[in-house]
Structure 1
Amino acid sequence: MLTKADDFPIHQTAEPVAYAGTDRNFYDRYFFNGYSPDGETYFAIAFGVYPHLNIADAHFSVVRGGVQHCLHASRVLHSERLDLSVGPISISVIEPLQMLKVTVTGGEGLAAEITFTGRAFPIEEPRFTRRNGPRAFMDYTRMTQNVRCEGWIEVDGQRRDLPAGTVGSRDRSWGVRPVGAPDPQPPVPMTMSGFFWQWTPLNFADRSLFFHVNADPDGSAWNTRAVVLPDGAAQGGGYHTEAARMTGVELVPGTRHAKGGVLEIPVDGGVAKVSFAPFLTFLMRGIGYSGAWRHGAYKGELVVEREDIDLAAADMSAPEHVHIQALSRVRLAWPGEAEQTGLGVFEQLIAGPYKPYGLG
């Protein structure tokens, strides 16, 4: 099957671009978020292509006044992977690896036009490979980039320009992880008893800081890295280490969400420390990371739906609310430098037991 993508030099195998290996869980996704300097506006976008499910979906979500307004869209892909639009949500790659634009054209009372410009060259994270017994559970690559954001967002006729200083992060990931309908035949025997994930893309005045960790239920990390990038850093630049760790985490009672924490990064001259003070909770279900609008779910030829979530009334202990991004004020203490303040995200997902936090 030939598609428009076959006229570009992007092939990775001897097959047409329509065929992405043989695993039905192959995916290719964009993610964006952004937040105003005062934290009053927070928004995120997810856009996924699932070649073997023949589905594309997109989600836009913005928090205003304590309400998370969400726009979900899904369509049949028809194997055309270069059509970066699903209903009212579209992506334009203006300058690869540097500038992209997301447009939301008035879907269900929500509209936006936001340009994301990289602060430095994207980082390539360690390849995420995880098996459940003999079966591949995850096998993907992700690149991440902190960004400056310009544009506007409209909610029910109220348009607001993004204020100067609005920043955020974007990532691109591709490979294999669970998408679409659950597999009807679980692995035998089931070897995975839990899943632990933390991710902290942070924006400071002159640099970006990234940390992530996947860990086993006993706390042993199986994929982790911290990166510090000065603005304008080239590919491979900055400081990279796999020895960073998150400490001092206490959970909000009745939830699996952290009250805060301290990231410790060994550097020349001592230990850099980043303290987190979360103040806004963004539910990842609003951009398809669980629930009825999970990534890769078949909805029909084209279906668009709006959802509004009152965050104060949401049950934060519910399974669909385990996965969050906590917008946080952060303080960076670097040996030999004056303390810096910034903003960033403390993403958290703890499913199943995790002994270091007392979760059974």
Structure 2
Amino acid sequence: MLTKGDDFPLHQTPEPVAYAGTDRNFYDRYFFNGYAPDGSGFFAVALGIYPHLNVADAHFSCIRNGIQYNLHASRELNMERMDLSVGPITIEIVEPLKSLRVRVNGEGLAAELTFTGRAFPIEEPRFTYRIGPRTFMDYTRLTQNGHYTGWIEVDGERADLVSGTVGTRDRSWGVRPVGASDTQPHGHGVVSSFFWQWTPVNLPTRSLFFHVNADRHGTPWNTRAVIAPDGAGHDGFHETPSATMQSPMQPGTRWPSGGTLTIQCAERPLTLTFEPLQRFQMRGLGYTSPKWGHGLYHGPLAVEREDLVLADLDAMAPTLENLHVQIISRVTTSDGETGIGGFEQLVIGPYEPWGLKEYFDAG
């Protein structure tokens, strides 16, 4: 089937753009988040395309007065990958790798948000991970910090983004578990687990990115830290795999209660301290959501609003839907800077360095 994408030089295989190899779990995703300099006014957006499932979905979230407002939308893709609208949520690429715009209007939630990057996006190391014989992940991601302008409206109350609103956006594509879960066991003695931390930080004149994926024994299988000065091009970054995070958990949860990140730089180590300001539940964007998980089929078009009182959520709910969080944090550095950033964490299953032996162990 030919689609709009076939008139652009985008092809990676001899097939039309509508087809993306043969893995049913192939996906293509946009993510955004933003927040005021004091950590207030948080919002986030995601849009995903799943070519082999013929599904597109999108989500918008914002937090006001302890309530996380979420808008979920899903539709049939109809094999057209160039249409970046899912019901009431639309993404516009204003200038590739530099500026994008999000529009939202549905179920009492509305927004217009324009993102402008602070530097060229970083390309993270390719994520390839297997559980036993099965490929669990195989994808590439670009990440970029930036400034936002625009407004958000909740039930008729519109608020402009304050000056200095910053955040992060990313694009990833490849293979992740999407759509209906594969319930077949991985094999006798194969125990699945997942450990992820990600800390994109906005400092006054530069951005800092750190991530780590580790196995159940604590051995990293993908990690890197990058410092990106404002205005830097693709060759203007400082990159190192020599970075470590110390991060205690909040009691009774698998959420971080802050952390200390140490990055080995040429002259001396750079230390960053994270002080939590606000918690965002990633289920608002479909991550770990039992109903609105990525790629699930909801028919030709489905739209739903979901309001969460953050203080009432069970951190260790049996459905695991509340494990995945972003903690917006004030960040101070050992060389005297103060900034703000996100501390994203998802820990599923055993993780020996923290004494987590079962799926439902808490800190």
| TM band (smaller chain) | over 0.9
TM-score by length of 1: 0.97
Give the secondary structure class of the aligned counterpart of 2:178. coil
Distance 1:159 1:62 in 2: 12
* Amino acid paired to 2:110: A
1:58-81 deviation per Cα after TM superposition (whole angstroms, max 9, x unaligned): 000000100000000000000000
Quickly say closer, same or farther: Cα 1:190–1:24, change in 2 above 3 A. farther
- Shift of residue 136 of structure 1? 1.1
Cα shift at 1:142: 0.2
Q: What is the match of residue 261 of structure 1?
A: 259
How far did residue 188 of structure 1 move?
A: 2.5
CA RMSD of aligned residues (A): 0.9
User: What letter is aligned with 1:136?
Assistant: T
Matched to 1:72, the amino acid is H
- Read off the aligned partner of 1:357 and give its amino acid letter: W
Structure 1 counterpart of 2:352, which letter?
K
Q: Secondary structure at the match of 2:278?
A: strand
Alpha-carbon contact 1:133-1:189 (below 8 Å) kept:
no
Letter in 1 for 2:334: A
Which residue is equivalent to 1:214? 213
Q: Which moved more, 1:80-89 or 1:36-45?
A: 36-45
Point out the more displaced range, 189-198 or 86-95: 189-198
Aligned to 1:350: 347
1:280-359 aligned within 5 A: 280-291=278-289, 292-318=291-317, 319-334=320-335, 339-359=336-356
Q: Shift of the alpha carbon at 1:189?
A: 4.0
Structure 1 position 295, deviation (Å): 0.5
Q: Deviations over 1:305-341 (max 9, x none)?
A: 000000011112222111000000110113xxxx011
Structure 1 contact 133–190 (Cα < 8 Å) conserved = no
Residue in 1 aligned with 2:160?
Answer: 161
Residue 95 of structure 1 aligns with an amino acid whose one-letter code is E
CA gap of 1:26–1:264, structure 2 versus 1, over 3 A, is same
**Residues 1-360 of structure 1 correspond to what in structure 2 (within 5 A)?**
1-105=1-105, 107-189=106-188, 191-247=190-246, 249-291=247-289, 292-318=291-317, 319-334=320-335, 339-360=336-357
Deviations 1:282-322 (A, max 9, x none): 00000100221000010110000000000011112222111
Counterparts of 1:357 and 1:59 in 2: how far apart (Å)?
32
**What secondary structure sits across from 2:321 in the alignment?**
helix
Could you list the runs of 5+ residues in structure 1 that have no partner in the other structure? none
Contact 1:69 1:306 in 2 (8 A): yes
Distance in 2, Cα, partners of 1:158 & 1:274: 37
Tell me if the contact between 1:132 and 1:190 (Cα under 8 Å) persists in the aligned partners: no
How far 1:190 moved relative to its partner?
A: 5.9
Give the distance between the partners of 2:220 and 2:36, measured in 1 at CA: 33
One-letter amino acid matched to 1:164: S
Query: What CA distance in whole angstroms lies between the structure 1 residues aligned with 2:181 and 2:233?
Result: 40
1:144-200 superposed Cα distances (whole Å, 9 cap, x missing partner): 000100000000000000011000000000000100000142323463431100000
Shift of 1:132: 1.8
Q: Could you say what secondary structure the match of 2:255 adopts?
A: coil
Q: How far apart, CA to CA, are the structure 2 residues paired with 1:190 and 1:223?
A: 24
Q: CA deviation at 1:94?
A: 0.5
Q: Report the Cα distance in structure 2 between the residues aligned to 1:68 and 1:177, rounded to whole angstroms.
A: 26
- Residue type matched to 1:120 in 2? A
Letter in 2 for 1:183: D
Aligned residues: 354
**What CA distance in whole angstroms lies between the structure 2 residues aligned with 1:352 and 1:91?**
34
- How far the C-alpha of 1:39 sits from its partner, in A, is 1.7
TM-score w.r.t. length of structure 2: 0.96
Secondary structure at the counterpart of residue 61 of structure 2? strand
Does structure 1 conserve the Cα–Cα contact (< 8 Å) formed by 2:144 and 2:169? yes
- 1:358 Cα deviation (Å)? 1.8
Go from structure 1 to structure 2 and tell me whether the alpha carbon gap of 1:190 and 1:21 turns closer, same or farther (over 3 Å shift): farther
SS of residue in 1 equivalent to 2:264 = strand
Of stretches 59-68 and 310-319 in structure 1, the one that deviates more from structure 2 is 310-319
Give the deviation of 1:133 after TM superposition: 2.1
- Give distance in 2, aligned partners of 1:190 and 1:91: 44
Alignment check: 8 A CA contact 2:92 2:100 kept: yes
Q: Distance in 1 between matches of 2:9 and 2:160?
A: 38
Contact 2:201 2:207 in 1 (8 A): yes
Distance 1:82 1:305 in 2: 24
